[in-house]
A and B are shown apart, each in its own frame.
Chain A
Amino acid sequence: GDSVTQMEGPVTLSEEAFLTINCTYTATGYPSLFWYVQYPGEGLQLLLKATKADDKGSNKGFEATYRKETTSFHLEKGSVQVSDSAVYFCALSSPTGGGNKLTFGTGTQLKVEL
């Protein structure tokens, strides 16, 4: 079945450091790929998406490129801020039966310190 693998956390960075959170996936067909972010006590917010190979999703300084050849969708940001501290989830969307579902990775906690 479909699966998503994310790097283990927590990841601790200093403010203005470069961020990479690795994500690889296994899926049949051609899934859409997403990054969601969860701040403490809140629901999941869509951060960015990519629907086909070589698409680059971007939002709020975060970027990820859909790499079909390496089945990866790594999240990057050039300069993190304390406010970026949260849990980040990589997910893929695939049809199932007559419907649709998201398959999530385990999440990576990011802590950004001054």
Chain B
Amino acid sequence: DSGVTQTPKHLITATGQRVTLRCSPRSGDLSVYWYQQSLDQGLQFLIHYYNGEERAKGNILERFSAQQFPDLHSELNLSSLELGDSALYFCASSGTGETRGPQHFGDGTRLSIL
């Protein structure tokens, strides 16, 4: 158990809809990261938050947004969903902020767009 909790485990929805994925980091970790895992793109970095502030953006679509709340949990919002958004979305956390320490991953949310 990594200590990172993601909910829900599975989401099935339709094109054009909006969903929210939730992540609770390990106790004491200030950094939260979001990644997308798909068969064609592999594991892709989406965004990094540190103590409520956005610190880095990767290949995140404009239809996607994230935030980190004062209690340090994070949410990833995906809107106007397309078939290609079907993927496994991982959250990770670390306690080392801007340094290069290891990230600890949750079990992911599997998103299926019908």
Closest B residue to A41 by beta carbon equals B107
Closest chain-B Cβ to A69's Cβ sits at a distance in Å of 20
Q: Which residue of the partner chain, among A34, A36, A43, A45, contacts B108 with CB atoms under 8 Å?
A: A43
A100 and B2 form a contact (CB under 8 A): no
A101 and B102 form a contact (CB under 8 A): no
Number of residues on chain B facing chain A (CB within 8 A): 30
Residues of A within 8 A of B (CB): 31-32, 34, 36, 42-46, 49, 51, 89, 93-107
A99 and B2 form a contact (CB under 8 A): no
Closest A residue to B35 by beta carbon equals A102
Q: Which residues of B contact A49 (CB under 8 A)?
A: 102
Q: Which 9 A-B pairs have the closest CB atoms?
A: A99-B56, A99-B55, A99-B48, A32-B100, A104-B43, A101-B45, A93-B100, A43-B107, A44-B105
Q: Which residue of the partner chain, among B48, B50, B90, contacts A101 with CB atoms under 8 Å?
A: B48
A103 and B45 form a contact (CB under 8 A): yes
A99 and B98 form a contact (CB under 8 A): yes
CB contact under 8 A between A102 and B33, given known A43-B90, A43-B107, A46-B104: yes
A42 and B50 form a contact (CB under 8 A): no
Closest chain-B Cβ to A3's Cβ sits at a distance in Å of 11
Closest A residue to B108 by beta carbon equals A43
Q: Which residues of A contact B48 (CB under 8 A)?
A: 96, 99-101
B42 and A46 form a contact (CB under 8 A): no
